Structure 1
């Protein structure tokens, strides 16, 4: 089974690390593109989660990169600092593993 990487704020990364996921804290949304490119090169990753508050400022720039990415699957999740609908993490993980 592949790994999950969360890119986001300190709080959200800490929460996901307690569940066994890797985490990368980023303060600057404009550094996000470089982190995604680095993650795409890793063969051990199946899922990359990015917090919405990091993604929103650079959304237009990254939409093309994220929408065409299949392995690892890149998806946006809400953080405690963003407003959004609940996320079905189980469904995302199954999709990343090719079962959904």
Structure 2
């Protein structure tokens, strides 16, 4: 089974580190695209979680990258600084299965 990796602010990352998830603190959203490109090459990662506060400023640049990405699956999670919205579990499952 592959690894889960979290990219986010120091608070989000520290929460995931407490449960043993590999994490990466990123302060500058403009560096997110380069980080994703590097992580895509790692065979051991199956899921990348990105905090919403990093994703939102560069959404237009990143969306096409996320849509074409099959493995690892990349998804956005809320952070302490973002508004919480309901998660569309059905679309996440369909996307994970390659139908979205």
Q: TM-score, normalised by structure 1?
A: 0.85
Conserved? CA contact 1:46–1:96, under 8 Å: no
- Quote the Cα distance in structure 2 between the aligned partners of 1:43 and 1:86: 31
Verify the 8 A CA contact 1:46 1:97 in the aligned structure 2.
no
Q: Distance in 1 between matches of 2:85 and 2:40?
A: 27
What stretches of structure 1 move > 3 A for 4+ residues in a row?
Answer: 86-89, 95-98
Q: Between Structure 1 and Structure 2, how many residues are aligned?
A: 95
Instruction: State the match for 1:82 in structure 2.
Output: 82
Q: Using the alignment, how far apart are the partners of 1:35 and 1:20 within structure 2?
A: 21
Aligned to 2:26: 26
- Between the aligned partners of 1:66 and 1:72, the Cα distance in structure 2 is 10
* Runs (5+) with no aligned partner, structure 2: none
| Unpaired runs of at least 5, structure 1 | none
Please state if 1:44 is matched with 2:44.
yes
TM-score of the pair, normalised by structure 2: 0.85
Q: CA deviation at 1:86?
A: 5.0
Q: CA RMSD in A?
A: 2.3
Superposed displacement of residue 84, structure 1: 1.8
